[in-house]
Structure 1
Amino acid sequence: MSRLVVSLVVLLVIIVGALFFFAGRATEKPVTRIEKAVELGNLAS
């Protein structure tokens, strides 16, 4: 009986660890682009 409980606890720990691992990988920051305002006079030259 205790072997079954230990096996279930180990399996639960592995599943929870995998969930945290994949949740951490999914939070990658998207690439942000910053556009600079340019005066129209600079474009004509």
Structure 2
Amino acid sequence: MGWIVLEALLALALLLGIVWWTMFAGRRRGEPPRTPEDGSDAP
């Protein structure tokens, strides 16, 4: 019983680590500014 709880906690910690990594390990200055691709916003 103890091993199952330990394994479940380890899986939960791994899942939280993966979610944390994918959410907060992006670019340091954020996303680059978007440029209009179709030219409709260009003056």
TM-score class normalised by the smaller sequence = 0.5 to 0.7
Q: TM-score, normalised by structure 1?
A: 0.58
Show the counterpart of 1:32. 33
The structure with higher relative contact order (CA 8 Å, sep 6+) is 2
Q: TM-score, normalised by structure 2?
A: 0.60
Q: Which structure's residues are more often helix, by fraction?
A: 1
In structure 1, runs of 5+ residues without a counterpart are 35-45
Query: Where does structure 1 differ by over 6 angstroms across 4 or more consecutive aligned residues?
Result: none
Aligned-residue identity in percent:
12
Whose Rg is larger? 1
CA RMSD of aligned residues (A): 2.4
